[in-house]
Amino acid sequence: MTTAAALLQEIRKGKDQLVRLEQQLREIQQQCEHEFHEEQAYRLCRKCNWMESLHY
Protein backbone atom coordinates (compact mmCIF):
# COMPACT_ATOMS: atom_id res chain seq x y z
CA MET A 1 0.00 0.00 0.00
CA THR A 2 1.23 3.46 -0.88
CA THR A 3 1.41 5.73 2.10
CA ALA A 4 0.68 9.44 2.14
CA ALA A 5 4.30 10.10 3.07
CA ALA A 6 5.53 8.13 0.05
CA LEU A 7 3.14 10.00 -2.21
CA LEU A 8 4.25 13.35 -0.84
CA GLN A 9 7.85 12.39 -1.46
CA GLU A 10 7.04 11.47 -5.06
CA ILE A 11 5.16 14.75 -5.53
CA ARG A 12 8.14 16.68 -4.19
CA LYS A 13 10.50 14.86 -6.54
CA GLY A 14 8.18 15.53 -9.44
CA LYS A 15 8.05 19.23 -8.60
CA ASP A 16 11.84 19.47 -8.38
CA GLN A 17 12.11 17.80 -11.75
CA LEU A 18 9.47 20.13 -13.18
CA VAL A 19 11.42 23.17 -11.98
CA ARG A 20 14.58 21.81 -13.60
CA LEU A 21 12.79 21.14 -16.86
CA GLU A 22 11.27 24.62 -16.88
CA GLN A 23 14.71 26.15 -16.30
CA GLN A 24 16.13 24.14 -19.20
CA LEU A 25 13.28 25.24 -21.42
CA ARG A 26 13.77 28.90 -20.45
CA GLU A 27 17.46 28.67 -21.32
CA ILE A 28 16.61 27.24 -24.73
CA GLN A 29 13.99 29.94 -25.26
CA GLN A 30 16.39 32.71 -24.26
CA GLN A 31 18.97 31.50 -26.78
CA CYS A 32 16.49 30.78 -29.54
CA GLU A 33 16.22 32.87 -32.68
CA HIS A 34 12.46 32.64 -32.73
CA GLU A 35 10.53 31.69 -35.82
CA PHE A 36 6.99 32.72 -35.07
CA HIS A 37 3.83 31.09 -36.24
CA GLU A 38 0.92 33.48 -35.68
CA GLU A 39 -2.40 32.48 -34.17
CA GLN A 40 -5.36 34.75 -33.46
CA ALA A 41 -4.40 36.02 -30.03
CA TYR A 42 -0.78 34.99 -29.76
CA ARG A 43 2.23 33.88 -31.70
CA LEU A 44 4.23 30.80 -31.06
CA CYS A 45 7.82 30.00 -31.91
CA ARG A 46 7.92 26.80 -33.92
CA LYS A 47 11.44 26.06 -32.69
CA CYS A 48 11.20 26.50 -28.92
CA ASN A 49 7.47 26.89 -28.26
CA TRP A 50 7.92 30.40 -26.81
CA MET A 51 4.56 32.13 -26.74
CA GLU A 52 3.81 35.86 -26.99
CA SER A 53 0.35 37.29 -26.73
CA LEU A 54 -0.63 39.78 -29.40
CA HIS A 55 -2.27 42.91 -28.06
CA TYR A 56 -2.72 45.72 -30.48
Q: Which residues are at the interface with Zn ion (CB under 5 A)?
A: 32, 34, 45, 47-48, 50
**Residue 28 CB, nearest approach to Zn ion (Å):** 8
**Residue 52 CB, nearest approach to Zn ion (Å):** 10
Distance CA 35, CA 37 (A): 7
Tell me whether residue 11 or residue 32 sits nearer to Zn ion (CB atom): 32
Question: Which of 41, 18, 35 minimizes the C-alpha distance to 50?
Answer: 35
Tell me whether residue 13 or residue 46 sits nearer to Zn ion (CB atom): 46
